[in-house]
Each structure stands twice: as C-alpha cells, then as structure tokens.
C-alpha cells in the first residue's frame, strides 16, 4: 500500500473545503485492497454539515468488498459529533471498512477526539502517519491560533 501517497491526497483535498470557524477542514479517500480509488470527499463538500469521511462514504458506487478497503483521512475520524446523530467512526464501522490511515489526531477544540479508540474497539486496523500532520493542519491554521 502506498499510504503516504493516498494520505497526501487526503491532505490536499482538505484545502478544497469551504472555510469554517466551527469545523475542521478535512479530506478523505477510500481505496480498495488492489490500490484503486473508490471515492473521495472533503468537509462541507455538498452540505455545510458534511464531514470528509461521510462525504467519501456517500460517494461509493458499491459497498461490496469494503473489508479490504482503506479509508485515508487527514484528521482522525470523529468519535463524537454535535452536528449529526452518527459519527464518522460509526459510519466507517457500519460500512465494513477494515483499515483507516490518518495524519493528525483530532484536537479537543470542538469535541473530544476519540475516534481512533472507537475504531480500534471495533477491530479496525489504525495507522497514524504523524509525518503528514503539519500538512493536515495547514488548512486549519485559522482555528489553531
């Protein structure tokens, strides 16, 4: 797997997010077990409440074979959420995605970041690539002071 390349694309997608003072700008890409892109998304792409992982999952043409898929997200998928009833971590588990790679742990700015723990407790393999965290933080600099 070319984790750094796919996660870099997710970080680049975060730059396309409409700006917000109340939510992070995040990008996500879903890749199948053979390394083919299945879907991509970014925060607020189609709706002001959309999270990146949620937008990518909504873009899937087919949900078969997702156990071997990897979801790449510039930010740790949310494990708590105020704007919608289901968190991104819950949506990922429900979709059957077995692996998540992310760059940056969610800071406790809006909610408590605990998506990684939720995913791990459901058997999802987690890979954190902190070498890309600065790239993931860049479109969120206005939130970080």
Longest dimension (CA), the chain: 42
Would you call 53 a catalytic residue per the annotation?
yes
Q: Which of 37, 53, 106, 117 is catalytic?
A: 53
Task: State both tokens at 43.
Answer: 């925060």
User: Positive or negative CA dihedral for 130, 134, 140, 141?
Assistant: positive
Task: State the residue for tokens 């406790």.
Answer: 108
Classified as helix, coil or strand, 74 is: strand
Task: State both tokens at 114.
Answer: 């605990």
Burial class of residue 123 in the structure, from the number of CB atoms within 10 Å of its CB (0-12 exposed, 13-18 middle, 19+ buried): exposed
Active site residues: 53
């Amino acid at each position: 797997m070319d984790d750094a390349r796919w996660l870099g694309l997710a970080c680049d997608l975060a730059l396309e997010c409409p700006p917000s003072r109340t939510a992070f700008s995040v990008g996500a890409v879903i890749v199948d077990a053979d390394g083919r892109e299945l879907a991509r998304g970014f925060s607020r792409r189609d709706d002001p409440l959309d999270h990146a992982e949620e937008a990518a999952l909504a873009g899937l043409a087919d949900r078969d074979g997702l156990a071997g898929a990897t979801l790449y997200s510039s930010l740790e998928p949310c494990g708590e959420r105020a704007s919608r009833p289901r968190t991104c971590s819950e949506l990922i588990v429900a979709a059957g995605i077995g692996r998540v790679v992310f760059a940056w742990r969610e800071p406790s700015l809006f909610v408590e970041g605990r998506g990684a723990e939720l995913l791990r407790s459901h058997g999802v393999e987690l890979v954190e690539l902190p070498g890309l965290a600065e790239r993931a933080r860049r479109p969120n600099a206005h939130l970080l002071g």
